[in-house]
Amino acid sequence: MNNTESVRHKRVTLFMGGACQMNDLNNLSVQLDFLEHVESPIFVKNQSGVYIFCNEAFSRFLGLKKNKILGRTAYDLAPTVLADKYTMADKELFDSTQQQTYSADVLAANSKTQEVTFTKSVLHVEGNKIGGFVGSIQFSPAVNVNFDGLTMLSQGERAVIELLFVGKSVKAIASQLSLSPHTVMGYTKSIYAKLGVHSKNEALYKALTLLSQVTSP
């Protein structure tokens, strides 16, 4: 990781942990430009539940252009039954001001509901007032994901990413596949290179996005 990537990673970590304070919530696309380089879907809502920022990964995940997301609420983008759940969770976040993590269904780009994990942190503006929150999406392990469609990966690489997807550590993968941890790390680096990513979460997101394109009618 070079210096630029290291600084960017630190900024993302601090921001997603709620450690950054914004001067205001205007011109977020300029202030949060560094989030465009993150492959995980990230979004920001104000206290009224209106989307005021999202990165390209979030736009791709929903299958909507940014101008169809920004300025809208969950009720404009999701079925009412799902939007009700999101709104209730948002209210609980503002009431507690503590970082929030929970699983919920999302209507993804392939028009199918997919279980994901939301992580949210309140966003403070000048004067330490709560101006909204930042949220990120991670993918929850699912039973029926078949990685055979990732033909750009070798059989060994597909076996490794399948176990990464269900939360296995490098050591556990090595034990299950009767490989050395060094070999598993080699497969992992090769997966990152072929998918053009730099982390496990990015790799899983990219893999699921590619699979949804392969399986779409």
Q: What is the pLDDT of residues 78-102, one digit of tens each?
A: 999 999 999 999 999 999 988 888 8
Residue 134: in which H helix or E strand, if any?
Answer: strand 129-139
Query: pLDDT confidence of 141, banded at 50, 70, 90?
Result: low
**Domain topology for 147-215:** Arc Repressor Mutant, subunit A (1.10.10)
Q: Looking at residue 146, what is its pLDDT?
A: 80
pTM: 0.59
Phi/psi for 131 (5° steps) reads -105, -15
Residue 139: in which H helix or E strand, if any?
Answer: strand 129-139
Query: pLDDT confidence of 160, banded at 50, 70, 90?
Result: very high
Q: What is the pLDDT of residues 17-58, one digit of tens each?
A: 444 555 555 555 545 666 776 677 889 999 899 999 898 889
**Domain topology for 3-139:** Beta-Lactamase (3.30.450)
Query: pLDDT confidence of 131, banded at 50, 70, 90?
Result: confident
Point out the least confidently predicted range of 7-21, 53-67, 72-86, 113-127: 7-21
Q: Looking at residue 187, what is its pLDDT?
A: 97
Q: What is the percentage of the chain residues whose pLDDT exceeds 70?
A: 78
All CATH 1.10.10.10 domain ranges in the chain, comma separated: 147-215
Amino acid making up residue 105: D
All CATH 3.30.450.20 domain ranges in the chain, comma separated: 3-139
Closest CA to 144 of 102, 112, 189, 188: 112
